[in-house]
Amino acid sequence: MLFDLRRKTDVLHLLTFMVVLALPALVSFNSMTQLEAIQKNGQLRVATRNTPSSYFIDKGQPAGFEYELAQAFAEHIDVELELLVPDTITGLFEAVKLRDAHLAAAGINISETRSDLYQFSVPYSMSTSTVIYRETRGKKAPKTTADLVGKELLILADSIQSEQLNAIKESDYPELAWHETDELTSTDILDQVFNKNVDYAIVDSTIFESQSSFYPGLKKAFTIGQAQPMAWVLSPNQDGSIRRAVNKFLQLPETKTLITQLKKKYFERRNPLNYFDTVTFRRDMETRLPKLEQYFYMAEQETDIDWLLLASVAYQESHWKADAVSPTGVKGIMMLTRAAAKEVGVTDRTDPIQSIMGGAKYLTIVKAKIPERIPEPDRTWFALAGYNVGFGHLEDARVLAQRADKNPDSWKDVRQFLPLLSKARYFKTVKHGYARGQEPVQYVSNIQKYIELLKWEKQIAAIRRAREEAAKAEQEDELEPATLLELDDIPSAL
């Protein structure tokens, strides 16, 4: 009995001693701010959306306005960025509410309703809700909210536009109706208007302005409500340390400069083609490219030339028509001459596989004629220009550039002098004489335009595919609605 009492006493002393030892650590842990906890853990969890304006994969690498800004903040507080990619706008707020994410960054507008439930950072941009319609002959553009009544109107579910329309319906237009979707992105919604599946849409002005040139015929009608600030979303139950750090970061001069650069990079993108070219290109992408795309991939593996470049050259040459024939006798997808086809072993120029593989091999031969000191992508533009007009004429244009104290190894400089080869006062002073120098400039310009449009369309397609796969997996109980995605799990946009 005495032994048991002593033993219990010893155990009690031991426990007391352990608690005393642990007390400083417990006190230290409890006094740690949430920002310090994030820094100690080494990870900042950010919820965003898989859209062209927020986050996507470009050539195997993460990109997007919100991604780059969040990455800069993570580096600012010296931690790694970890992304949470919900499928819906509601999922963004739930991720913050449930503490799955420290903040949400996805071009979210501040509103009174949202401010009652969440904290926001200082604003970093402004946007307005804009009514979008497709310009159609004989159909008047909507001018006021009254013109939306009785029409098919589409918006994002749980968006700022939803709040604004509900307020308008309650105050002035009880008969106003619309459809909300959480299955589409803003880009998909613009598609719906462009394809005349709905009459109108209301989207964020920033989104529309960044993508409008890719939707010829879509126009802004009028705005709904006042301009709204955009900010990052944080939980109201935090100690304020994260919000203070975010606000300090967003107000730094270097961050403001970064935001300006990112806006230019992601929101000032312009479709280089005109209305009719864009409509034709999209149609050909849907009907012709799918049959050929695998061959361009194969040619890239064989020659290490980007398939986007090969596909763009092919479109410039033949509009992806396997039976294309020019008056001068060149044939096929890549419009090879007899001599070029023989040089690369093509026996049937109208065979798509042979033509594409042969064209890729011939392009490597063409590039070999350009000095290796010229860096990419200029070396490729020189190669294409030389192929189009002749390498002698290209050299003449480089001579003219050098005479004018310009850089003969810069395509930006040399392309200004190629058109001068059609003017006697210039072509008489160079070795190879007259040339229609504007043609290679236009030739390269067109290919550059097709590359940009292909990138855009493939990027949008990849985002849609990722969303469809996530939705399918969720239905099969393989994926939670807001699942943490590793960057490598997102399919490449290109």
Task: Please state, in angstroms and rounded to a whole number, the distance separating the CA atoms of residues 319 and 327.
Answer: 16
Task: Please state, in angstroms and rounded to a whole number, the distance separating the CA atoms of residues 396 and 426.
Answer: 10
SS3 category, 72 = helix
| Cβ-Cβ contacts under 8 Å for 41 (sequence gap 6 or more) | 79
Cβ atoms within 10 Å of 17's Cβ, excluding its own: 10
DSSP lists the bridge partners of residue 83 as: 46
Backbone angles phi, psi at 331, to 5 degrees: -135, 160
What's the Cα-to-Cα distance from 480 to each of 159, 184, 487, rounded to whole Å?
A: 22, 18, 17
Q: 66, 163, 317, 452: which is the annotated catalytic residue?
A: 317
- Looking only at Cα atoms, what is the longest distance across the chain? 120
DSSP lists the bridge partners of residue 218 as: 134
What's the Cα-to-Cα distance from 236 to each of 81, 97, 241, rounded to whole Å?
A: 22, 8, 12
Residue 317 falls in the annotated catalytic set:
yes
CB 83 within 8 Å of CB 76: no
Written as six digits, the tokens of 240 are 């304020």
DSSP lists the bridge partners of residue 426 as: none
CB 101 within 8 Å of CB 93: no
| Cβ-Cβ contacts under 8 Å for 445 (sequence gap 6 or more) | 272
Q: Which helix (H) or strand (E) holds 26?
A: helix 2-31
What residues are annotated to the active site?
Answer: 317
